[in-house]
Amino acid sequence: MKYKLIAVMASLCIIIVICASPVFAKVYARVSGSVKTEDDKPIAGARVILIFAADGAKIELTTDKKGRWSKVNLRAGAWTMGFMADGYEPENINVTLYAIKTNPPIDIKLAPVPESPLKKPDELYQQGKYAEAVQEYQNVLSENQELY
């Protein structure tokens, strides 16, 4: 009789633990995506920065060789995401992540940084061709008044 009572009590304890666990467990979000060029080529080693809006908590990730990234165990809520890679314009977006439903992948395309109009005169200056460099700088300034 005593063994039956112990078996019933143990069974009840196990059932309570199994049923109560999901109720008290914290639920986290997961998110993934990719970083590619405008012509759909993956950018390996791109930095992905996630900032939680509520408290400013920051998480930094790096894309793999296929430009993919992912993160689990994120708090649900509003996040700001920054995407950066050498030679490309950075991109920032705001998203809301959900713990209960599936978050869609966040696929970003980065535009290349435009070439500087000062590249040619800088090269001439580095080569020691100062007179030619000065002339090129003047040409650039006359064509690009916003540089003044």
- The pLDDT value given to residue 11: 67
Q: How would residue 48 be classed by pLDDT, with cut points 50, 70 and 90?
A: very high
> What would the pLDDT profile of 52-101 be if each residue is shown by its tens digit?
999 999 999 999 999 999 999 999 999 999 999 999 999 999 999 999 89
Q: Are 117 and 143 in contact (CB under 8 A)?
A: yes
> What would the pLDDT profile of 109-142 be if each residue is shown by its tens digit?
999 998 888 888 888 899 998 998 889 888 888 8
- The pLDDT value given to residue 148: 63
Q: How would residue 30 be classed by pLDDT, with cut points 50, 70 and 90?
A: very high
- The pLDDT value given to residue 27: 77
Give this prediction's pTM: 0.68
What whole-number distance in Å separates Cα of residue 48 and Cα of residue 31?
12
Identify the CATH assignment for 26-110 out of 2.60.40.10, 3.40.50.720, 2.50.20.10, 2.40.50.140: 2.60.40.10
